[in-house]
Amino acid sequence: MMVIGHKSIPLSRLRLPGTFAKLMAEPRIEKRATSIAAWGIIHEPIVRRSDWKVIDGLDVIAACFRLGREHEIMKVIDCTDAEAVSMRLEANTQRRHDTQEAEQLRDQQWRLFLAEAQAPKKRNKAGSGKKGRPLTDKGRARRALAKRRGVTPETIRREEYRRKEVSKDLFGLLPDEPTIETLGMDLEQKFVGEVNEIQKSLHKVDYVIRRGLAHLQHIRSAKLPFPAELLDRLYAALAEANQSIRASRPASLCPWCRGLGGAQQYCVSCRGNGFVTEAQLEGAPKELLSGDDG
């Protein structure tokens, strides 16, 4: 979540829910309008810049509409759908506790958490060189590697896919070669073994956390007597840990030092370890990712 700032926003710009007209007619909105007319807005509504969705303060906005206002100062933020739901839930808990809305939000929150924790990573789908789509860095590296090996990029992609499929669900059953981008380099056996061991270990942690998430979900779906807010917090903590674990996996030979003796130990990108994560790989300049290193 990122706060952009407090800005005057035309009410007409906001994306309002289908139930907004019904909300405007609620008696509490009239009370709120009277209060705003007397005291102004005490808590500014929070809106998301990307789609002008109202994250919090729909009552205030409904009251402003009733008062015939055109602009209001709002807190403008950027956030994901999951963050938006969490913020609304938090606001609901802090103010008027609407159990029905809270229950709906909690359902939504769990679905988003689950979707995030279990979503296959987007990068895997990108760069398959489909028509009309620009080649990603990974796609370019794949093409270069294919050229060196004298096969098609599709063969390399299938190989990667098979390795990923194998590693997806089978606990500890990873192939003996690491699933990292080699950037066309021949890797030392020792390095390959170590990276594979790191990948296996992180894979196991990932698996254990996912099992943990499933157990927490059981507490929820079996409606066991356990504080819902606490369960949400535990779930969020595990889901976040899982994201961190996944983000830490070695994804590529370090494009900056390429694991070369003399360079690697001083390399700030991989901190001397010889490999980088997927996020680092994404941030690497294109020219470093070519397999045509001569």
In this chain, which stretch among 90-98, 181-189, 194-202, 256-264 interacts with Zn ion, using CB under 5 A?
256-264
In this chain, which stretch among 1-9, 156-164, 204-212, 266-274 interacts with Zn ion, using CB under 5 A?
266-274
Using CB under 5 A, pick the residue from 192, 256, 277, 288 that binds Zn ion.
256
Residue 267 sits in the site that holds Zn ion (CB under 5 A):
yes
Q: Residues 200-239: x/- map of binding to Zn ion (CB under 5 A)?
A: ----------------------------------------
Residue 254 sits in the site that holds Zn ion (CB under 5 A):
yes
Considering only residues 103 to 132 of the shown chain, the ones binding Zn ion according to CB under 5 A are none
Judged by CB, which is closer to Zn ion: 84, or 281?
Answer: 281
Considering only residues 131 to 160 of the shown chain, the ones binding Zn ion according to CB under 5 A are none
Residue 84 sits in the site that holds Zn ion (CB under 5 A):
no
Using CB under 5 A, pick the residue from 14, 257, 281, 289 that binds Zn ion.
257
Residue 47 sits in the site that holds Zn ion (CB under 5 A):
no
- Amino acid type, 181: E
Binding residues vs Zn ion (CB under 5 A): 254, 256-257, 267, 269-270
